[in-house]
Structure 1
């Protein structure tokens, strides 16, 4: 039988991006699979929200692994884990995180190049060594595993586009299977990232990038689209708006805009 990670890897085609939907619980995972998602991913931010915590280093590795296992128990499509900085600064910890993620059945994980303590970017050499150790751990597994290396310093304004490309090229040389720089300033910048690297590139649809189409991402060579916490924040927006209306204004119109329970039930019971 083909391992889910092999199916996951095969989806990554430059210029023909698929949408990897970030979910946060068994219900959202089953619903997105039923609606046609070819692959899913956890979201550290969305997971934190379900735990009553803010985003940013508030989820432990054990919690992330247990959360992933819960998602995997109800879906058949490949699932990637959003594992922040690999849950440790040193390369050996990142490698161990890869092994543990594979053990629970994840098709891959992403590892960021910034610490969860202050969001500072790791020194270039350490950032590359962390990916090299992770890639070696992935290649020593008994089955396929897709490692995504993230250059998050551009998102956190810790370095510029040139440094982003330098890091991504080094991550690719170190063995990363997929590359990811969240929210470069413009689509032209994202196009430069795609043209400067050979490995598949993931693009985050959030903020100004929500104005782009799937075709626009395809035209510049993107291979994968992820949502981060965007879908979860839409859900929280609906909850917030309904709460403002009923708790502050004393009316209930927003409560009548939801989809029917029967429709939800149908989606949750599809295989």
Structure 2
């Protein structure tokens, strides 16, 4: 039942640390579930790649919601949505996106503070906070637990520094966010600063310098959740590029020997489906 998934997802954020991988289709979701994941999250970039589009604002709200429904159906695990800037600028419109996300069966979602245009400029501080406040109010009005993760993406996008990112997540916490997130701080020491700056749970992204750390090391710093973003999708696309370069440029098929066996993939797909095999969500 979806209600149990929502409760499970909420409980995961109350203590400890867990990894939340980001599938891009039903098959990758089931393989991640079969590998032992306890929850999943969509990735706007990884999903855009499946549509043959670049990352950053190229997926519509309708497409993201349909994709979210597919991910919810794919496995018995709770799912959170990467909903970029909420597909809107105005706070009321972002609040409506939260309600739609819940209707799609999601147990939470993340909202960014940068616009999906050009070089992704940040929203004005006051507007960024108002957007999260409206999203938090919408989440609290639901009849289910719903984890709202407020993202300060300007550090990653190079539009503001870590001090400003911390100022923003502190304000997002006060505005009602359940979790805060500054994608890719420069290193472990900066992640420690982020975590120490708030009482809310903090999401860490396994990318950049943090890939040098283990799950236990990131957990020891104090992160509550570790997401993979589009990293697994990028590894997969890197394999496509590498294999095709070898075949088309060098006429070499030997790298294909690294392929997983069909039986292993079949077994993981079946195991990952659990009770969710091709079922509509409740």
How does the TM-score come out when normalised to structure 2? Answer: 0.94
Matches within 5 A, 1:162-177: 162-177=163-178
Whether the 8 Å CA contact 1:21–1:41 is kept in 2: the answer is yes
Partner residue in 2 for 1:61: 61
1:13 shift after superposition: 4.4
In structure 1, distance between residues paired with 2:75 and 2:11? 18
1:3 deviates by 3.4
Q: Which runs of 4+ in 1 moved over 2 A?
A: none
Distance 2:225 2:192 in 1: 13
1:73 matched residue in structure 2: 73
Distance 1:122 1:31 in 2: 37
Give per-residue Cα distances to partners, 1:45-92, cap 9 Å, x unaligned: 000000000001000000000011011112111101000000011101
The corresponding residue for 1:35 is: 35
Specify the alignment match of 2:278 in structure 1.
none
User: 1:264 maps to what in 2?
Assistant: 265
Q: For residue 222 of structure 1, give the secondary structure of its aligned residue in structure 2.
A: coil
Tell me how far apart the structure 2 counterparts of residues 256 and 54 of structure 1 sit (CA, whole Å).
Answer: 30
Report the counterpart of residue 182 of structure 1 in structure 2: 183
- Alpha-carbon distance, 1:5 to partner: 2.1
Which structure 1 segments of 5+ residues have no match? Answer: none
Q: Which residue of 2 aligns with 1:147?
A: 148
Aligned mates of 2:171, 2:7 — CA distance in 1? 24
Please give the secondary structure, in 1, of the residue aligned with 2:157: coil
- Indicate if the aligned counterparts of 2:186 and 2:209 stay in contact, CA closer than 8 A: no
Question: Which residues of 2 match residues 234-245 of structure 1 at below 5 A?
Answer: 234-245=235-246
What RMSD over aligned residues (CA atoms) do the two structures have, in Å? 1.0
CA shift digits 1:124-157 (9 cap, x unpaired): 0000000000000001111111100000011111
Query: How high is the TM-score relative to the length of structure 1?
Result: 0.98
> Which residue does the alignment assign to 2:280?
none
1:225 and 2:226 aligned:
yes
Three-state SS of the structure 2 residue aligned to 1:264 is helix
Structure with a larger share of its residues in helix: 2
Gaps of 5+ in 2: 275-282
Question: In structure 2, what is the equivalent of residue 200 of structure 1?
Answer: 201
- Following TM superposition, by how much is the alpha carbon of 1:159 offset from its aligned partner in structure 2, in angstroms? 1.1
Q: SS state of the match for residue 156, structure 2?
A: coil
Secondary structure of the residue that 2:74 maps to in structure 1? coil
Does the 8 Å contact 2:148/2:179 carry over to 1? yes
Contact 1:3 1:144 in 2 (8 A): no
Report the secondary structure of 2:92's partner residue: helix
Tell me the matched-pair count. 270
